[in-house]
Amino acid sequence: MRIAPALLAAATLLAGCATTPMARTAGPANVPPGMQYLYGSGEAAALSEQAYNALVDSVRAQLAKGRPATAAILLPAANGTSAPGTCGDKPYAAVFDMDETAVLNLGYEYNDAQTGATYDTARWSRWEASGAEKVAAVPGARRAFVALRAMGVTPIINTNRNAAGAVPTARALAFAGLGDFKHQETLFLKGDADGKSAKDGRRAAIAARWCVLALGGDQLGDFTDALGTTPAARRRSVSSSAYADWWGRRWFVLPNPVYGTGLGSGWDDTFPASTRWTDPGDAASVAQPK
């Protein structure tokens, strides 16, 4: 899921090394570390394969027990909380984000790395329109989609790409080898269902028609919009009793150190005061008053 702005500087700091953008004509000396990891490393590929293997195994195990009563999509409940949707006799589906979950936007990220340009909606729209053949499937996605379809489970894409770009978006998915997707049936785009960029409305519309057995995404908003708005709140929420049992069972997260809500935490969010260590062998630290 592409979220503005693209925080490449934050990704670089996350990896422990800051770089200074070079002139557009020259390009950077090195690939930004976050991009090296996600797009170039075996470790990121292994994590993606692992997530997709686990998702397919979970779906297979659910079906082996008979028709599930509840879905993997949480819907608002009358008491202000949320509860799983019901399955009934609806057809089976699994719902995925698109960008950096099902496809890797190699062409766009190459342009980002080379130019140092910040995210803007017009440039992203141009990418959607012209970059369909500059993507690749996320490792594990193609095999997983084939396996799901063989079990009678339909992959559905729920993405914040623009509704105006439905045709090239479907073309990108097909080019990546993920199959055919149809807008408003197996492809849901920003604004569909409720006019919002948040995804709960689209998930509710999908859950009304499908028994959703699993969700895959690279951002917390790919699973529910209720996990908080700050890094600290989101981190607390994912381990709360309301959500902890969903991860790795019905919700499956893929790696993305390049952009999105996973980046941007401050010192206090990342390193709680009670955990901070000062090296007693550091002369500057030793000189500090106790």
Q: What is the pLDDT along the chain (290 residues), one digit of tens a residue?
A: 555 433 333 333 333 333 333 334 456 789 999 999 999 999 999 999 999 999 999 999 999 999 999 999 999 877 778 899 999 999 999 999 999 999 999 999 999 999 998 889 999 999 999 999 999 999 999 999 999 999 999 999 999 999 999 999 999 999 999 999 999 999 999 999 999 999 999 999 999 999 999 999 999 999 999 999 899 999 999 999 999 999 999 999 999 999 999 999 999 999 999 999 999 998 776 555 44
Could you tell me if residue 3 is inside a domain?
A: no
b/e sequence 191-220, b meaning 16+ C-beta within 10 Å: ebbeeeeebbbbbbbbbeebbbbbbbbbbb
Could you tell me if residue 275 is inside a domain?
A: no
- CATH for 94: 3.40.50.1000
Give dist(CA 38, CA 234) in Å, integer: 22
Helix-, strand-, coil-residue percentages of the chain, each rounded to 5: 40, 15, 45
Given a contact cutoff of 8 angstroms between Cβ atoms, the answer to whether 134 and 108 are in contact is yes
Could you tell me if residue 76 is inside a domain?
A: yes
**DSSP run (H or E) holding 49:** helix 42-64
Q: How much is the pLDDT for 20?
A: 36
Q: Which residue has the tokens 């799983």?
A: 84
Q: How much is the pLDDT for 7?
A: 39
Helices H / strands E in the chain, number of each: 11, 9
Q: How much is the pLDDT for 118?
A: 86
Could you tell me if residue 61 is inside a domain?
A: yes
Give dist(CA 220, CA 243) in Å, integer: 11
Task: Report the number of distinct structural domains present in the chain.
Answer: 1
- Using alpha carbons, list the distances in angstroms from residue 6 to 22, 116, 124, 177, 186: 17, 10, 11, 26, 27
Could you tell me if residue 279 is inside a domain?
A: no
Is residue 287 packed enough to be buried (19+ CB in 10 Å), middle (13-18) or exposed (0-12)?
exposed
In the chain, beta strands by DSSP E: 70-76, 82-86, 92-96, 103-104, 136-137, 153-162, 187-190, 211-217, 251-253
Q: How much is the pLDDT for 53?
A: 98
Could you tell me if residue 230 is inside a domain?
A: yes
Q: Domain range for residue 184?
A: 8-19+28-270
Dihedral in degrees, nearest 10, Cα atoms 86, 238, 16, 274 = 180
Q: How much is the pLDDT for 19?
A: 35
- Using alpha carbons, list the distances in angstroms from residue 225 to 35, 140, 149, 198, 275: 26, 26, 28, 7, 30
- Nearest to residue 95, comparing CAs of 223, 215, 253? 215
Q: How much is the pLDDT for 176?
A: 98
Q: How much is the pLDDT for 1?
A: 53
Could you tell me if residue 286 is inside a domain?
A: no
Q: What are phi and psi of 160, to 5 degrees?
A: -95, 20
Could you tell me if residue 276 is inside a domain?
A: no
